[in-house]
Structure 1
């Protein structure tokens, strides 16, 4: 049973420059979402990150909101929070797969995102995972975003022209 296993957790990164996070939360299950946000905020505060929170109607809107912010704002990273509980129809599969796929595609395009959208069989599983004193998946999602931000900053120097990659600025007019 996964609940009894131990997992290695990376120490939180340290930052020389301020970090600005956007938490995008779908509060469909408000109490669960509130716990996810509480965990994410605590982790972000530990790293000294500033946080803005926006709410969207459901998990399917989370990737769209992050994409908008990535194009139109200046956040260093994003935390996606919400909960999808299996129901009687296949809608569960659509919401789980499409929200995850959207977040993954944004990440592959360079956005630093921690995915804390819970996909569970029942409310009891969601409550355990969202509890900041329990599995703290909100805090874990914030930590994932912070680790990706640290990597992005580490690798964000001027690019060298190696292989098929042109030197940075090579195509500017």
Structure 2
């Protein structure tokens, strides 16, 4: 018996969204397919995007963190491909890029992770191709779903990481009478 995969219907956004696609084009043809899938999904949702490229998958989370602090994106699409080689570098890149994206997501960023981690080039081609598994489109769809959830539950505060102590106290209501603390 074959297992079927369920795909959620497209996210419904209350207003247009702006996404940043962060791509690591180490394997150029694979990255181009991932990007094409992501762009098509974003455009179909009526959203806009900017595209930047970084040297490798390890730099993707850093670029997203920088963009969150310094720009005005509603969500992010992380794209790249890591193919197993002869050394343990594969595990480092897979684990650390995924961990970085997950930590940013747990801080409230709306990120779709489309960094492929595969055994060989053939697996990467099938997963990246918009006419086959379309993992770039899937990552964009995930980011759009997270944006819709964030909007449903209220406005997000900007910033990544810990709040300065004064802001923590202000949120806790302890700075009502001393706004300069």
- TM-score over 0.5 for the alignment? yes
d(CA) in 1 for partners of 2:90 and 2:152? Answer: 38
Partner of 1:37: 35
Task: Give the structure 2 partner of residue 65 of structure 1.
Answer: 63
Correspondence list, 1:53-132, <5 A: 53-132=51-130
Deviations 1:6-59 (A, max 9, x none): 211111112221100000000000000000000001110110010100000000
TM-score, length basis structure 2: 0.86
From the superposition, tell whether residues 84 and 157 of structure 1 become closer, same or farther in structure 2 (CA, over 3 Å). closer
What is the aligned partner in structure 1 of residue 141 from structure 2?
Answer: 143
TM-score (norm 1): 0.90
User: 1:169 deviation in Å?
Assistant: 7.7
SS at match of 1:59: coil
State the 4+ residue runs in structure 1 displaced beyond 6 angstroms: none
Which secondary structure does the structure 2 equivalent of 1:140 belong to? Answer: helix
Cα distance in 2 for partners of 1:121, 1:57 equals 21
Q: 1:31 aligns to what SS in structure 2? A: helix
Cα distance in 2 for residues equivalent to 1:58 and 1:134: 24
Aligned length: 165
Cα distance in 1, alignment partners of residues 61 and 97 from structure 2? 6
Deviations 1:62-108 (A, max 9, x none): 00000000111000000000000000000000000000000000000
Larger radius of gyration: 2
CA–CA distance in 2 between the matches of 1:169 and 1:70?
Answer: 24
Q: Counterpart in 2 of 1:162?
A: none
